Structure 1
């Protein structure tokens, strides 16, 4: 009986399954921030910040220096979510999104921990702990920059 259960469970304990799971985690986390970033941009432009973004940071979020914080947040959301989606510097990107979530949680929406911030924290922590997985661009560069071991 135990072997009937163990066989399907063994399929879950593979690099392929982990790679697919980490890809989904990357896309789920990055999509939240990418969609938010795109709302701060003028429709039809690549990265032109909509002036209403500064009003939002001043009046809704009550952030200091709304022109600066709005600009930093908008570009960071774009850059960090793109890195995480691609799996390029995944741990760095996930740590940045974790930090952004902490700022949002502490200063903007302190009552939103259980929905959705706890999910964003968890997804970012998984990526920080495990990296981007086998379908991440990080893997392409890991072999190039890995220290060479002498075979004497």
Structure 2
């Protein structure tokens, strides 16, 4: 029985399993921000910001300069979540989403720390610490840069 448990644990301690876990972490974090970004866009448009977004930033979020912060947040939610989903500049994208989570936590919904913000913080921190994993586009860039760096 112990041997069976040890073999099962050995399967979990592989790059493949870690890569799958980090893929799920990337998608879980990015999906939250992507879905939020899409609510700020005119239906059927790609990046045309819905005017109601500015009202939301002014009246509910109480953000300064809602015409600026609304655009910035919408573009950041789209861009950073796309980077994280693809695993391209994963640590950078996750750090950006961590900062956005901090802004939301501190200035918009301070009562929402344990649900859901702590989960977003945790997912972002895992990606910052571990990177995108085996199934990230970062891996291709890592290999390309390592190859260039290894040649004299």
Deviation string, structure 1 residues 9-65 (Cα, Å, up to 9, x no partner): 110000000000000000000000000000000000000000000000000000000
2:49 corresponds to? 49
How far has the Cα of 1:150 moved from its partner?
A: 5.6
How far has the Cα of 1:148 moved from its partner?
A: 2.3
- Does 4-13 or 15-24 show the bigger shift? 4-13
How far has the Cα of 1:2 moved from its partner?
A: 2.6
Tell me the distance in 1 between the aligned counterparts of 2:88 and 2:136: 7
C-alpha RMSD over aligned residues: 1.1
Matches within 5 A, 1:49-128: 49-128=49-128
1:24 corresponds to? 24
Tell me the distance in 1 between the aligned counterparts of 2:126 and 2:65: 32
1:140 corresponds to? 140
Closer, same or farther: CA 36–150 of 1 in aligned 2, 3 Å: closer
- Give the 3-state SS of the residue equivalent to 1:35 in structure 2: helix
The list of structure 1 runs, each at least 4 consecutive aligned residues, that deviate by more than 4 angstroms after superposition, is none
Which runs of no fewer than 5 residues in structure 2 stay unpaired? none
- Give the 3-state SS of the residue equivalent to 2:149 in structure 1: coil
Tell me the distance in 1 between the aligned counterparts of 2:49 and 2:145: 36
Normalization by structure 2: what TM-score? 0.96
